[in-house]
């Protein structure tokens, strides 16, 4: 898999989760418990951050900047 694709996908996930959390809390998921909804979106955010940090480690191991 192309490393640039992984980074782009991670940024899309990160942006989507940060924006989707409050949007869903006030619209289609307004009836859900806020803690459960927040934990669900936070899991996606953590996954995106993990993808970004993993890619950074790969670059360092390959000797890239």
Judge whether 21 lies within some domain.
yes
Does some domain include residue 50? yes
Is residue 43 within 8 Å of 14, Cβ to Cβ? no
- Asked whether residue 22 is domain-assigned, the answer is yes
Q: How many domains does the chain have?
A: 1
Tell me, yes or no, whether 54 lies in a domain.
yes
CA distance 42 to 52: 15
Does 65 fall in a domain? no
Closest CA to 11 of 39, 47, 57, 61: 47
Q: What is the pLDDT of residues 3-55, one digit of tens each?
A: 788 889 999 999 999 999 999 999 999 999 999 999 999 999 999 999 988 88
Give the pLDDT band (50/70/90) at residue 64: low
């Amino acid at each position: 898999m192309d490393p640039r694709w992984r980074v782009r996908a991670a940024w899309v996930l990160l942006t989507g989760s940060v924006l989707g959390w409050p949007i869903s809390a006030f619209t289609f998921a307004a009836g859900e418990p806020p803690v459960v909804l927040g934990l669900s979106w936070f899991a996606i955010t953590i996954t995106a951050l993990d993808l970004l940090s993993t890619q950074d480690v790969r670059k360092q191991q390959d000797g890239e900047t």
